[in-house]
Amino acid sequence: MAETSYFWFEIISMAVLTAILIADVLIIFKRPHIPSNRESTIWIVAYALLAVVFGGVLWQLFGPDKATEFYAGWLTEYSLSIDNLFVFVIIMTRFSVPKKYQQEVLMVGVVLALILRGIFILVGAALIESFSAIFYLFGAFLLYTAWHQAFRSHDDEEETESKLILWLRKHIEVSKDFDGAKIRTKVNGKKMFTPMIVVFITIAVTDVIFAFDSIPAIFGITTSPFLVFAANIFALMGLRQLYFLLGGLLDKLEYLKYGIAFILGFIGVKLVLHAMHENELPFINGGQHIDWAPEISTVTSLLVIVASMAVATIASVVKMRSDEATSHTK
């Protein structure tokens, strides 16, 4: 009975969330505009409250374990999605995308991210089901990603984007100017792609790269495909409003990348410990479970994620204000 109820909860939840996303897309394409700070804040708070309510319903109907897994997964994906914004800023700036059409570009990025992450979730769930040792690989990958996150610079990201852009411009005939949000236009009677197609392709490639980070990370929190996908949907909701609200502040949140790196590293360690605890590889401990390997609880994971982002954000704000005070005294 409980399994049947949970199945219908999954179906109804996905239907409602899909309807919200479709409505969001239709509103944007029907009325492209630059959202005000007030409008952006209202949408961000509304989506966050919706996630909190969703977790509350999970807690009430199916117990605290599933709710805690959802909250931890949502906050993990939200922190990683904020990292996406740094790259989105670079892309928008590089192509000088008119602000009026940036919402449409961001919405396409969000939809592409959901589709790609949905595919990665299905593949990841299938791998976990048939090959439990995949947690070793997920853990090792996240530890590498954490190191890369902590020590990379945004100049590296810009260099990567530049190479992709140069390759696209070499292989696709692109007009010099935008034509609204169109991807095709006519120049002197000749049909050509607009720079918008290059923007969309660049964002799609970026989404693939970030999916490689985010999906292993959340599988370290929960192995439920439904909770993984729900956490991703809620994390991506409000992302474009956050882009307009934070804007140029993103570059000033200097220590945010270290908070994200710590979260990735922590989940990487958690995945390796889980793999050791459930070990079946014959060349490790004779194929036996490693009983001394501790299992890190979801509640502990949730507390670490919240604390990491809080410390990174507060430290960044303090540093930003200190730099502003120093510049005013000069």
pTM of the model: 0.80
Domain map (residue ranges) of the chain: 2-324
Q: Which residue reads 């949408």 in tokens?
A: 43
What was the pLDDT predicted at 60?
Answer: 92
Identify the segments of the chain with pLDDT beneath 70: 1-2, 29, 31-33, 152-165, 168-169, 247-252, 328-330
- Tokens (6 digits) for 307: 């604390």
Residues 209, 141 contacting (CB under 8 angstroms) = no
First to last CA, the chain: 70
What was the pLDDT predicted at 255?
Answer: 84
What was the pLDDT predicted at 311?
Answer: 92
What was the pLDDT predicted at 67?
Answer: 93
pLDDT digits (tens, 9 = 90+) for 78-89: 888 777 777 777
Residues 233, 13 contacting (CB under 8 angstroms) = no
| b/e per residue 149-183 (b: at least 16 CB within 10 A) | beeeeeeebeebbeeebeebeeeeebbeebeebee
What was the pLDDT predicted at 68?
Answer: 93
| Dihedral pair phi/psi, residue 189, rounded to 5° | 80, 0
